[in-house]
Amino acid sequence: MEIVETSPKQRPTLLTVLCILTFIGSGVNVFSNLMGMVMSPIKSFLGPEFFEMALQDIPEEPVKKFVEQAFEMAQLAIDHIFEISLANFILYAASLTGAILMFQLKKLGFYIYASAQVLLLFVAPAFIGFNLFTNIGILFGSFFAILFIALYAVNLKKMN
């Protein structure tokens, strides 16, 4: 009788580093969005009058118009803070789950992670609408989402 030794698959260093970065990033975001849901009842303290006071101190008209648009978006975000935090919480938890599965060299984790990252780009626009600020957020967010998805995809052949 012959004894065959099988060694477990080695996790590539790049995959380990990516997973650790995702554990940190997604873990912090899961916690902060949980806090956003818990703290959402205090949104009434930041009503439109809070922003109107700040607008009075801006003398230049083009700057005032830009800041006004930013305040409108901020007010919409405050009005939907619970919904935005809940959606982000679920998607960051899915992202974290995907990273845990990829850390265990399971290919399913990649698909969960990639789906969550793509959906995260559109949470704010779904509640606030598309505007200059959300478009900039999508642009910057998509850079990192694409980067991490591509780097994880490089390691797909090492996963089951």
pLDDT in tens, 6-36: 666 789 999 999 999 999 999 999 999 999 8
Name which of 99, 135, 136 is nearest 117 in CA terms.
99
Tell which wins on pLDDT, 74 or 49. 74
CA angle 118, 78, 92 (to 5 degrees): 30
Percent of the chain with pLDDT over 90: 59
Residue keyed to tokens 């800041």: 67
Residue 47 φ/ψ region, left for φ over 0, alpha for ψ in the -120 to 50 degree band, beta for the rest:
beta
pTM over 0.85: no
Query: 10-14, 72-76, 104-108, 149-153: lowest mean pLDDT where?
Result: 72-76
Confidence of residue 2 (pLDDT cuts 50, 70, 90): low
Q: Where are the beta strands (DSSP E) in 56-106?
A: none
**Cα distance between residue 36 and residue 16, in whole Å:** 30
Confidence (pLDDT) at 131? 86
Compute the distance between CA of residue 71 and CA of residue 51 in angstroms, rounded to an integer: 6
Which residue carries 């984790």 as its tokens?
109
Q: How far apart are CA 137 and CA 35, in angstroms?
A: 21
